[in-house]
Structure 1
């Protein structure tokens, strides 16, 4: 799988300085997350990744087909992308630093999968209005059937830390998806959840301030 990335890494940064790995939303590209990080931690090191699916004739990129209702296929694709991202991080010799994944919308779901499947790589995750596809499938299975591949059975005394933010006016991510990701995260993570009354499927200054507090910046 081929990825286009923009990286900004200061060689003089301390070995304990955070490295952000970032994933944009549907129809956007890697510059979206760079702008967001500029409002959160502007001098930080980062790697911002472009989704491998090009929206021909529409512009922008995606991580998976947003029109698909095949949750299993979406999960499998995100798992495959995540495995390649982890291999790429390992190859850069950056894996000894604290790594935080940040994703918006589709990218938020990808960041969730990365944290759940690779808890040894990511120290924390910031999920901004994430979609969610670990819920009910066409066969009627619900949250009880969430994949055993998740880190649920690898819980340690120090669960992963996750920031989860949604807008109360978000109509892009259904309420049932928002509730389901909260339930799933509660099984293996320490979740700092926020809802912003006047925000839709977007981000806002208060959310950025809350993320900074979450990251102890």
Structure 2
């Protein structure tokens, strides 16, 4: 091959390559250069039961004498509250002669805690994204925690074991008070619920027949204008207790979610 032919061949190859580049779209070029997509693994939460430490507030009667024991009362706070709220209620109820315990609900409501700069707790595991399918198990877990608080108080505090304890619950705490009542019907002397919420997964209504034969005294109070837990919830519970022939006192009152001073006075006298 002479120099002319060689130069002609090289020139022809250059022209062909240039024409191919001209007729190749940017999209085609990118497609050729693009690396195959690697599908990223999905990140999800899995939930399992956990054993850990919790805590509860304790109030011992002032001037408690060594060796003397006192009746026990446990108060359960509502969703987004903390034990301090129930300690104030115990003070308003004049429970000065009782050993008072107020457990923290097991889950921290992180967003509300940050926003209010105050600790906010709940006994419902939706605070950590637990699916509804596990709600019955989650309710049992929280109820067991509350019951363990009661047992620990009886074991470690100056509690009179000859007198059954009293249980008081507000809002979500009222629901859990009813869960404990129906699962341990012979444990308590008196049970008070104020503005109690209701979750069917707790099986409260289904277990009411177990309470009918016990000697526990029950008082339920619910405001007609409750903006958080509708009054109809209180009426439904009242009707369910009646249908199961569970003796109880139902107090409808005018007010909001928190009990009025008049209702607190009525409850205080009823407890005595």
Q: 1:109 to 1:75 in 2, by over 3 A?
A: farther
Superposed, 1:6-155 pairs within 5 Å as 6-10=57-61, 12=65, 15=69, 17-43=70-96, 44-59=98-113, 60-64=120-124, 73-91=134-152, 92-93=154-155, 94=159, 96=161, 97-134=163-200, 146-147=205-206, 150-153=207-210, 155=212
| Contact 1:5–1:30 under 8 Å retained in 2 | yes
Say whether 1:196 aligns with 2:247.
Answer: no
User: Structure 2 length normalisation: TM-score?
Assistant: 0.65
191, 204, 213: which one aligns with 2:269: 213
2: CA distance between counterparts of 1:72 and 1:164?
29
2: CA distance between counterparts of 1:167 and 1:134?
21
2: CA distance between counterparts of 1:176 and 1:167?
10
Structure 2 unmatched runs, 5+: 1-51, 114-119
Q: Deviations over 1:180-216 (max 9, x none)?
A: 211233325321111112x011111111111022112
Match of 2:13 in 1: none
Q: Give secondary structure in 1 for the equivalent of 2:249.
A: strand
Q: 1:188 to 1:33 in 2, by over 3 A?
A: farther
User: Structure 1 length normalisation: TM-score?
Assistant: 0.80
Deviation at 1:101, TM superposition (A): 0.8
Deviation at 1:84, TM superposition (A): 3.1
| Contact 1:170–1:200 under 8 Å retained in 2 | yes
Q: 1:82 to 1:34 in 2, by over 3 A?
A: same
Structure 1 unmatched runs, 5+: 138-142
Q: Which has the higher contact order (CA 8 A, sep 6+)?
A: 1
The structure whose Rg is larger is 2
